[in-house]
Structure 1
Amino acid sequence: MSFHYRNIVVAIDGSEEADRAFKKSLPIAKRNDATLIITHVLDDRYGVVTAYAPGIIDEVEIRAKELLEKYEVEAKQAGIDNVVTFLSHGSPKVKIAKEVAPKFDADLIICGATGLSAVERILIGSVSEHIIRFAQCDVLVVRQDEH
């Protein structure tokens, strides 16, 4: 009996670790003939900034859409036939596991391990840790390469 993934969510945020996670998602999606859902969640915890610089959220959203488009093109060039991009606002650690994955009936989430300090992990927890804890599907956390 063989199992294959049908809907794979890969979380991207512009970081090197997220890029590494995206690159790992390509052969997995191709091998499984899966739909690759590339998602970026704009963290809205910093809403106070927009009160002082109203246009900044528009600029951040434009950059996020450009990032998603770049990854979509790269996925299609890698031979992934079914690619979906999804931009959302909110807390990435909550949205990815509890909203994005269920919305797309994901059976695998791929994300990068975060570079939070030990203190930050104790206080707020990492995005990947939260995804592992609350996702209703398999999760692959891609770690930074050792140098």
Structure 2
Amino acid sequence: MALGKQGKGSDSMEKQYRNILVPVDGSQNAEKALARAIEIAKQNDSRVEVLNVIDVKQFTTNFGGVMSGTGDMIYSSFEYIQDYLTKLKDRFAKEGFTNLGIHARFGSPRVVITQDFPADYPIDLIVIGKTGLSAVERLLMGAVTDSVIRMAKCDVLVV
């Protein structure tokens, strides 16, 4: 059975999702999104691409963009993320789901999730966890989830 949505002007158009992107950041909401994406993938015989985006801006200060950390800090963060992603893949493999890719990229999460990654992989659906930010934080900083909803060129499911 395919997960679908009503098409414009159609009473029963269903969309078959073949390639599902799940951005993860280690949060509980991201874990819920990944679990939901795996359910959808099993129903559709789909592939799940798990992505963590390392925003290098987190390693800079407000003083002219001078690095507050070293390259070693960035590399250590990347190693930590790779280990986290590998553990996720192993966990789902033990549960019998192996059609899963893991990816880590540097850049702006908003841009990587909605533009860069889908340019490299044929993504039909993005399954993303709801933001953990408060209303004030969303107002001041914006939320990645909100940006993905607005910018994505494919369907988005917020879990």
TM-score by length of 2: 0.81
Q: Within 5 A, what are the aligned runs for 1:95-114? A: 95-114=112-131
Which letter does structure 2 place at the counterpart of 1:11? Answer: P
Distance 2:54 2:82 in 1: 10
> Match for residue 18 of structure 1?
30
Distance 2:14 2:125 in 1: 16
Whether 1:71 aligns to 2:88 is yes
Q: 1:39 aligns with which of 32, 37, 51?
A: 51
Whether 1:141 aligns to 2:158 is yes
> Match for residue 145 of structure 1?
none
Unaligned 5+ runs, structure 1: 143-147
The alignment partner of 2:137 has SS state of helix
The alignment partner of 2:127 has SS state of strand
Which letter does structure 1 place at the counterpart of 2:142? Answer: G
Label 1:57 to 1:8 Cα distance change in 2 as closer, same or farther (>3 A): same
Whether 1:58 aligns to 2:70 is no
CA contact (8 A) 2:60 2:69 kept: no
1:120 positional shift: 2.1
Which structure has the larger Rg? 2
Q: 1:27 aligns with which of 20, 39, 47?
A: 39
Q: Determine what percentage of the aligned residue pairs are the same residue.
A: 37
Distance 2:155 2:119 in 1: 12
Unaligned 5+ runs, structure 2: 1-12
The alignment partner of 1:115 has SS state of coil
Label 1:20 to 1:61 Cα distance change in 2 as closer, same or farther (>3 A): same
Label 1:62 to 1:120 Cα distance change in 2 as closer, same or farther (>3 A): same
TM-score by length of 1: 0.87
CA offsets per residue over residues 31-86 of structure 1, 9 Å max, x none? 11111100000011123268343221121111100111111112323333421111
Q: Of Structure 1 and Structure 2, which has the larger fraction of its residues in strand?
A: 1
Q: How many residues end up aligned between the 2 structures?
A: 142
